[in-house]
Homo-oligomer: A and B are copies of this chain.
Amino acid sequence: MGTSKLHNYNKKQLSLATITHALAHPARIAILQFISKQKSCICGSIVDELSLSQATISQHLKVLKEAGLLKGTISGASTCYCINEKEWEKAKVLLHQFMNTKFNAPNTSCCS
């Protein structure tokens, strides 16, 4: 994340940024939607679905895995990717908390 001053932020802020960072590309959104829709989580089929090269998909999968949103299990020659539901649930809670931040009254009245 560039020359980021990460020490200035608390854990929740950093977790939120990690999650949103992982989601911050339409290809990764599409990959997650595809995986959650599929009956099986075969990786190669994502390459057919999205018109991106296998290497690019692999990089996006890596970002999602590093953020903890995906699990990958080696299954023979291919790797099985699926949602890390435990982490997904954590992410959902964090995002929900953040998005439901209460606004103080003055904010609703200014910037008409």
Contact = CB atoms under 8 A, between A and B. Distances in A.
A13 B26 contact: yes
A16 B40 contact: no
A51 B8 contact: yes
Interface string A41-78: 10000000011100000000000000000011101000
A85 B81 CA distance: 37
Interface residues of A, number: 59
Q: Which 9 A-B pairs have the closest CB atoms?
A: A20-B23, A21-B24, A9-B26, A17-B26, A24-B24, A20-B20, A82-B111, A73-B111, A20-B24
16 contacts: A1-B25, A8-B27, A17-B26, A20-B23, A33-B98, A36-B103, A36-B104, A40-B110, A41-B110, A71-B111, A80-B110, A82-B107, A83-B107, A95-B95, A96-B96, A96-B99
